[in-house]
Structure 1
């Protein structure tokens, strides 16, 4: 079984090329911004031919989407570990902070990658991360609240949705103050669920 799961040399080389392309895209995004980012520049920085880049990506937007996806998966896995290790209110700030700071880079780069990630929501990528997170903590996290499909949806989407709205630069929101408010929101929701108030309909 282990032998069949082991990557072949061809798979390893392909993954290495993909990583090089994504690393190059991030470096160029940081240095020059999204307007000047081209697939030719990315291929040159990555040390691959433009044909090789197009073997794995359909174009610039696909590269950005893959870059955002890679970072989102890393954040998701980190949050899953936090929930498993500290399934209480004390972990809320750590989780909020991970979501706020998980997309690395300058503010401009973060905006580009967030936009790329949310564009994928039409293709079910947010649902994919939601399901992958629940699968990662299933049977491992001793939560203080009942995780119904509805509460799980709110817990995994509330902060993300607000961060998406807060990414508009015209809002000029203070990151530290925003973090405090998001923590206040989620702590209150989790506390209400723990107290048995969640999910009760008014008569």
Structure 2
């Protein structure tokens, strides 16, 4: 049976343009993030957020029509910070020897998730409309673009046949799921470095399964 989609808005009423309004807006989002991280989704209320942010409830509702739209904006901010961390590592990954590049990239993803593991855990376990938030779909699309671009660069650099699109999609999706599992529920018997190296080896092995035998 298909899951029923939400009927409430998952976006702010408006975004601030003036500096003072921007500070108020950010204070609301940051207060909501602290409550979400510490107390969970069910315990978050707009009244609690307004109190912690030091603003009137009317100021909160000026920007957010409901609790869900505020949580969606919190998720967007978390994802923006996560993606900014990854962008900061792109040069480092690109400068790595080819055989180490995938390990460096997975390590960067692991570190970016681990840095904000508490709120990420709440978001993935408790937010019921997570996959309906536009920022989540946009982030997934961006990471897939990176995966396809990496596939194309590798194929040209080492003269191998293209890994099929479906394989790239599955590798990227499974890699993300594996990193989340390893960070949010770390197995005590394996150090993070071992998991990162093993995951990179798996991905590299699949990516190298289709040599171009027609290449000279």
How do residues 71-150 of structure 1 correspond to structure 2 at under 5 angstroms? 71-87=78-94, 88-105=101-118, 109-115=119-125, 119-133=129-143, 143-145=153-155, 149-150=165-166
TM-score normalised according to structure 2 size: 0.62
Equivalent residue in structure 2 for 1:177, among 172, 190, 195: 190
Name the SS of the counterpart of 2:154 in structure 1.
coil
Partner of 1:188: 202
In 2 relative to 1, CA 96–123 (structure 1 residues): closer, same or farther, beyond 3 Å?
A: closer
Contact 1:79 1:98 in 2 (8 A): no
TM-score normalised according to structure 1 size: 0.66
Cα displacement (A) at 1:128: 0.8
- Structure 1's unaligned 5+ residue stretches are 1-8, 199-203
Partner of 1:161: 177
| 1:140-164 C-alpha deviation (Å, 9 max, x unpaired) | 9x94356874455335422333456
Partner of 1:197: 210
Give the distance between the partners of 1:90 and 1:160, measured in 2 at CA.
Answer: 13
Equivalent residue in structure 1 for 2:75, among 61, 68, 80: 68
Give the distance between the partners of 2:47 and 2:163, measured in 1 at CA.
Answer: 47
- Structure 2's unaligned 5+ residue stretches are 1-15, 95-100, 156-161, 212-216
Name the SS of the counterpart of 1:48 in structure 2.
coil
| 1:87-108 C-alpha deviation (Å, 9 max, x unpaired) | 3134144224235314343xxx
Name the SS of the counterpart of 1:157 in structure 2.
helix
Give the distance between the partners of 2:49 and 2:79, measured in 1 at CA.
Answer: 21
Give the distance between the partners of 2:127 and 2:153, measured in 1 at CA.
Answer: 28
Partner of 1:5: none
Name the SS of the counterpart of 1:86 in structure 2.
helix
Partner of 2:66: 59
